[in-house]
A and B are shown apart, each in its own frame.
Chain A
Amino acid sequence: MAGKSEILAAADFRRMIAGAYAAFVEQHEAINRLNVFPVPDGDTGTNMLLTLGAVNRALGEGDAPGIGQISRRAADSAILGARGNSGVILSQLFRGIARGLAGKAEATSAELGKAFQYGILYAYRAVARPVEGTILTVAKGIAKGARRAVRDNLGFAEVLQAAVAAGKAELLKTPELLPVLKQAGVVDAGGRGLIVLLEGCLAGLEGRYTSPEADFETLLRVPASAGKVIISHPYCTEFLVSPAAVDAAEARKQLEPLGESLIVAATGDVLKIHIHTAAPGAVLETGLAWGQLHDIKIDNMADQSRASSAETLPKAGLAVIAVSPGPGLTAIMRSLGAADVIEGGPTMNPPVEAFVNAVHNGSAKRYILLPNNANIVLAARQAQKLLGAQVEVIPTKNVPQGLAALVAFQPDDELAANLERMKERAFAVRSAGITRAVRDSRLDGLEIRGGQFIGVADDKTTIAGDDLGAVLKTVLRSLLRPGTELVSLYYGAGLDEKKAAAVLAGIVEDFPNIELELYHGGQPHYYFLVSLE
């Protein structure tokens, strides 16, 4: 097959995405099961599925004459719809592809191959600390396979096949590179996800896939924060500048004074602008100075939300948006002064969009985001990138860290002072969680049977056992330090106050001179979340 003469258009790209989405509908559970730790946490497969769902949905809307435009739309929707760390990495992959295809109506196989290589490169960069044996190893293999196939002038289907084959070879090596994978007897879940993605693209390109049921993903949707619209800048103004004579940073600087909820997304020399403003004319004039304007859309949001009585308040002050896995914790966070609480946790990572919406709907000028889960940190960081200087992220990896940060928050204090104090307190807390093993496994030299209670202290499994109180006691003991004064326990996973108090009563004598406080957390999967201070 002569790759040079093969021309790929927007319709082909769309089909590939639809194929990839279908592949994830089928395989996301299998990817979820590649979870290294036997704890119910960040489901890689589900997160990639939901992120791709957002892309698939966006591509189905309206038409896009060129492959460049449609790939950019894919990137934009992935960035907003990204869930969990794997979703964020996927969104960067789409950004790279869009960069490779920018301004193109159609692409040759070689051009598309290069664009995918860009995508792999972007995905690689999205990971703060590259570790071999992860999705990155697989991505490198894929890039290598694709590069060879492109050089040999193959058709795009063959490029994908070569990429998948090379990627699979690397995937099988991941357990050798990363001992935790070997112990758990699995390959890397994110890497497996990349392979599924490319296989799905191939199936889509060749027209062999079945559309998933329309309402499939609504079953999986995580509720985002419901917000009210506060309109001091009623005109939602969106447009593209192409080619743009300025970069995103400069555009942001010039537009910032003209409104709020500003998003500047740059793909190649194309700028996508989204802003809520009181002066759409001034915004368009500003954009005109940078280049030609396209796809101009101006909506009066006051019309849209006329039903609800819109307040007109200027945005002011500093506020915190926190992620909570349960109603009890949500109430605690609100009582501690969180302006908004996004539902989400181990097995329900909220999308980047949830953070973006919470910021847009809020009335503060600046925000501190507390992801409160290791697998939500990247999504919060992604939201920060989209929203710019008005957002800061404290990468809290669990609920106790988030609560410690929130306790230290003072709305009247300076942002920098708050950040310093909140970080210091968050990372001084020792924390643990008690859950049940979802399957048999061997971890850190520990034999764990599925269904046993396991204690995870500071992100490391320390004990497994059949008695909840005994496991809790051992975990607390391992975390005690001289000077520990207070242990706060947040019960969840179906425990009620009576049962939780009974467990606590059984161990209280083992911890003299330490205050044990019991609170309703309401989080799923974790019988207790614990913090020691």
Chain B
Amino acid sequence: MPDIHIVLDSTAGVSPAILSAYANLHVVSLTVMLDGQEWPEEKIAPAELFAAVAAGRRHPRTSQPSPGDFARVAGPLARDGNDVIIITLSSAVSGTLQSAKTGASMVGGRVWVIDSGTTAAGMVKMAEWALEEAARGTPAEKIAGGLEARRQRTRTMFVPGTLEYLHKGGRIGGASALIGTLLQIKPVLYLVEGKVAVLDKVRTRQRAVARMVEELKRCRRPAYIGIVQIEAADEGDRLERQLRELYPDCDITVAAGGAVLGTHLGPGLLGIIYQESLEEDGA
């Protein structure tokens, strides 16, 4: 019987522990360019990028993996008769999905490409679920369908420490109107089909974080809650404590975002990713 393999991109920030626990889990890296040099995202720390920006050097750039990068990973697996499911970072902010699709078409065979609609913990949770189902013998078609259902129930919201990085990185989307406001504004942003959008705008950071929590509370039963922070570890921990009190039985994680998120969102990022429980997951 053929195996099912899961491929993530590097923005998921999947931990080495999980990676080594599953032989059928793979990662394709996005690239960060700083001062004319290219780095696979996991080889450079966000702090290095921020130091470079603070020193007035050129704003870093990122690039999606090439179709060939995906084909190189998925090709051999598919040729051996395996099923491959590629889960990418939201197409709202990256062309990674497109690369994966093109790569998959080069490969042929049984390859599915799923837009996670999110990133970081959201992607990790999708992969974990898919790996469990695969181990249980669920067919790849059904897993792909289940991932699609999870994507639709996943919410990704965040409070950037600054809008400068979103602006310079060209990923500001619906928040572009917030550039150049004469009053200091703290936007609460979220990922929605196709773009970064404004969930709300408030005047202070605390209010902004509280606004995310308020939004989370509208969810009846979160399947998990992933906190993402970049250079905001203390705030991330405080938020974790607060959420643990609110949701004592929920699976809550805190993780530092990687260099690609760092390039586009900047230091001071605090985000919450969660998914509403699906009926099939039981109570």
Contact = CB atoms under 8 A, between A and B. Distances in A.
Nearest to B206: A485
Contacts, number: 46
B177 A407 contact: no
Interface string B4-24: 000000000000000000000
Contacts of A411: 177
Given A337-B177, A407-B201, A517 B184 contact: yes
Contacts of B72: none
Contacts of B197: 412
Nearest to A407: B201
B181 interface: yes
A264 B201 CA distance: 37
B181 A335 contact: yes
A111 interface: no
Given A337-B177, A410-B198, A412-B174, A486 B183 contact: no
Contacts of B180: 335
Contacts of A335: 180-183
A8 interface: no
A223 B281 CA distance: 64
Nearest to A404: B203
B213 to A, nearest CB: 15
B233 interface: no
Nearest to B202: A407
Contacts of B177: 337, 411
Nearest to A486: B204
B200 interface: yes
Contacts of B184: 517
Contacts of A337: 177
Interface of A: 331-332, 335-337, 403-404, 407-408, 410-412, 421, 425, 485-486, 488, 515, 517, 519, 533
B243 interface: no
Contacts of B181: 332, 335-336
A18 to B, nearest CB: 47
Contacts of B183: 332, 335-336, 403, 407, 488, 519
Contact of A485 (B185, B201, B204): B204
Contact of A332 (B182, B204, B206): B182
Contacts of B203: 404, 407, 486, 488, 533
Contacts of B241: none
A533 B201 contact: no
B182 to A, nearest CB: 4
A486 to B, nearest CB: 5
B157 to A, nearest CB: 15
Interface of B: 174, 177, 180-185, 197-198, 200-204, 206-207
Contacts of A517: 184
22 contacts: A332-B181, A332-B182, A335-B180, A335-B183, A336-B181, A336-B183, A336-B185, A337-B177, A403-B183, A404-B203, A407-B201, A407-B202, A408-B201, A412-B174, A485-B204, A485-B207, A486-B203, A486-B204, A488-B183, A519-B182, A519-B183, A533-B204
A337 B198 CA distance: 14
A337 to B, nearest CB: 6
A335 B179 CA distance: 9
Nearest to A403: B183
Closest 4 CB pairs of A and B: A335-B182, A485-B204, A332-B182, A335-B181
A219 B145 CA distance: 72
Contacts of A486: 203-204
B204 A331 contact: no
A517 B180 CA distance: 16
Contacts of A488: 183, 203
A528 B197 CA distance: 34
Nearest to B177: A337
A521 to B, nearest CB: 11
B63 to A, nearest CB: 30
Given A485-B206, A485-B207, A533-B207, A408 B200 contact: yes
B222 to A, nearest CB: 23
A421 B207 CA distance: 14
A332 B184 CA distance: 10
Residue among B180, B183, B204, B206 with max Cβ neighbours from chain A (10 Å) = B183
Nearest to A425: B202
A386 B198 CA distance: 33
B185 A407 contact: yes
B207 A410 contact: no
Among B177, B184, B201, which residue has the most Cβ atoms of chain A within 10 A?
B201
Contacts of A331: 182
Contacts of A485: 204, 206-207
A332 B182 CA distance: 5
A421 B200 contact: yes
A511 to B, nearest CB: 14
A403 B207 CA distance: 16
B180 to A, nearest CB: 6
Contacts of A425: 202
Contacts of A412: 174, 197-198
A143 B203 CA distance: 51
Contacts of B185: 336, 407
B238 to A, nearest CB: 15
Given A336-B182, A488-B203, 8 more contacts: A335-B181, A336-B185, A337-B177, A407-B183, A408-B201, A411-B177, A412-B174, A533-B207
